[in-house]
Amino acid sequence: MNDLPERLRGSGKRLTAQRELILRAVDALGHATPDEIFTEVRKHVSSVNVSTIYRNLEVLEELGLVRHAHLSDRAPTYHSVVGHEHFHLVCRSCRVVISVDPEVMAPVIARLGEDFGFEPDIGHLTVFGHCVDCEAPKDTAQK
């Protein structure tokens, strides 16, 4: 599950305690913002800096170990790529986040390829909308 050392070596980058801890935090937290990851990592080492979090989330994403998605109009969230690839549904009323198998998008992927020569990045996709039987009041606004 943790390919970190090999992947880093392969690209001339170094293995550091921070990188290991950040990857572990992303794994542990599920969908977490840089700030939440920062807080989590700081539980294990006293002095980490936010800038290190940002720099390394970028590195880990380049290495294909984590991905990010925009689940709100605020900060992005990062999640580990250990499991299966998936895209997200977000309800604007109750804020629930549903992970969906890319297979559901198959017909659309085909159409976009044929009609536009476009290859969608499904793992980055977030679909906003509403649960049909959501208890929360329907929220027309975007925020």
Distance of closest approach, residue 52 Cβ to a second copy, in angstroms: 18
Q: Which residues pair with 79 in a beta bridge?
A: 67
Single-letter amino acid, residue 126: T
Question: Mapping DSSP to helix (H, G, I), strand (E, B) and coil, where does residue 68 land?
Answer: strand
Instruction: Determine, following the binding rule CB under 7 A, whether residue 9 of this chain makes contact with DNA.
Output: yes
Distance of closest approach, residue 44 Cβ to a second copy, in angstroms: 26
Partner from a second copy, DNA, none contacting 131, C-beta within 5 to 8 A by type: a second copy
Q: Which of 51, 84, 117, 121 binds DNA (CB under 7 A)?
A: 51
Burial of 119 (0-12, 13-18, 19+ CB in 10 A): exposed
Q: Which of 32, 48, 60, 122 binds DNA (CB under 7 A)?
A: 48
Q: Which of 24, 31, 55, 130 binds DNA (CB under 7 A)?
A: 55
Question: What would the two tokens of residue 133 be?
Answer: 């039987």
Asked if 77 and 69 touch (Cβ cutoff 8 Å), the reply is yes
Distance of closest approach, residue 42 Cβ to a second copy, in angstroms: 24
Asked if 25 and 17 touch (Cβ cutoff 8 Å), the reply is no
Nearest to 50 by CA among 33, 38, 68: 38
Partner from DNA, a second copy, none contacting 75, C-beta within 5 to 8 A by type: DNA
Partner from a second copy, DNA, none contacting 37, C-beta within 5 to 8 A by type: none
Instruction: Determine, following the binding rule CB under 7 A, whether residue 17 of this chain makes contact with DNA.
Output: yes
